[in-house]
Amino acid sequence: MSALPPDIIQRIRSAKNILFITGAEISSESGIPTFRGEGGYWKTFKAEELATPEAFKKHPNVVWEWYDWRRGICADAKPNPGHLTIAKWQLASPSIHLITQNVDGLHPKAGSKNLLEIHGNIFRARCTSCGENFSLMEEGINQPGLKYCPICESLLRPDIVWFGEGYDNKLLTKAWELSKAAQIVFVIGTSANVSVPANLALTAIRNGALGIEINPETTTLTPSMQFHFSAKSGEVLPEIFKEVFPDAKPN
């Protein structure tokens, strides 16, 4: 059964710029909790109570304990067919870009390039004083609990965009440029409740891109999309890829 009409497949095949925007649902297919909404509690806290500059200022040890726990979950998770198909698509074409809200590192683990992690990465830390970034896999930084900068010895924080914080301007500028240039935009597993990723998708649509949404639930973006697949990315994306690249070798 064809996932998309032949003329749409041909349009995707001939597109010069394709943009993927991914959210929490693609990672939930790999077993990673969303950490928000129902069941989003950790001990007695919710994500909205911990992922803030104010929480880190008051209780940095608690915030780091939560992120250490979350990082362990992310480290054990494996990319699913949705992640792997996007990475495979990027290998097949140099014009495929990816913007993700997710911080779990599954897209890099799948092999994706041309990637903008606009909310940060849970495997990185940033100095609260000098601003340097560090991998949390580095010796001396990867211990549990509070972590300190190897350069200036100030407290490190997770390299994550928290509630109430702004985006990195360079990343955001690049994201808008990609959205405006996109001829096809896949919006995968995002609830559209976060304004910036939703507006990036809408910007692509308003600039003439064909919009394809893959999400088990409908969202506020659904009416603006030409196609909506009420399914998991790991089910739909491999089928679309096979139609766009019928001669591609199976994994």
- Residues marked active site are found at 119
Ramachandran assignment for 22, one of left (phi > 0), alpha (psi -120 to 50 degrees), beta (any other): beta
Bridge-partner residues for 100, per DSSP?
A: 22, 117
**Cβ(62)–Cβ(116) under 8 Å?**
no
